Amino acid sequence: MAARWDPFRDAMSLREAMDRLLEQSIINPRGGPSARGAITLQVDLWETSDSLVARVPLPGVKPDDVDIDVNGNVLTIRANLPAAAGEDPEGDGEAVRWIYREVPRGEARRTLELPIAVDADAATARFADGLLVLTLPKAQTARPRRINVTPG
């Protein structure tokens, strides 16, 4: 049995078109420039029994170009991604005409609200091979405590 061809079946609705436009221009899940002009860093955040751990890929960034702040339960990570706009990619002085330019450059940041209180004074940050691993120990008040029940 042959299906009748309907020219509107594959047409995108106005609502779908607007959703796609907004996703591509405002909500940028790939970490490109945000509405404020800064690049959004990609972060993995997980919880262990005694800490929160954040992993942030920062290829080509030097440890001195990374700034980490914890204010209450808000974590902010800033980095300066290498090769500013207009810079010669090979460094040989030759003029280039860009075909694709998707690698983020310049100021990058990410601010996260942490789900539990942390002890910022005991935090550690390791940076190796372009990967920042930040360990934020849970505050004593946020750690689970076992209370023993004694008979009688």
Q: Which residues pair with 81 in a beta bridge?
A: 106
Backbone angles phi, psi at 137, to 5 degrees: -60, 145
pTM assigned to the model: 0.65
The whole-angstrom separation of Cα 106 and Cα 80 is: 5
- Could you give all domains of the chain from N- to C-terminal order, each with its CATH number? 42-89+96-142 (2.60.40.790)
CA angle (8 as vertex; 4, 14 as ends), nearest 5: 165
pLDDT tens digit sequence for 2-22: 666 666 665 666 777 776 666
The model's pLDDT over 110-142, given as tens digits with 9 standing for 90+, comes to: 999 999 999 999 999 999 999 999 999 998 876
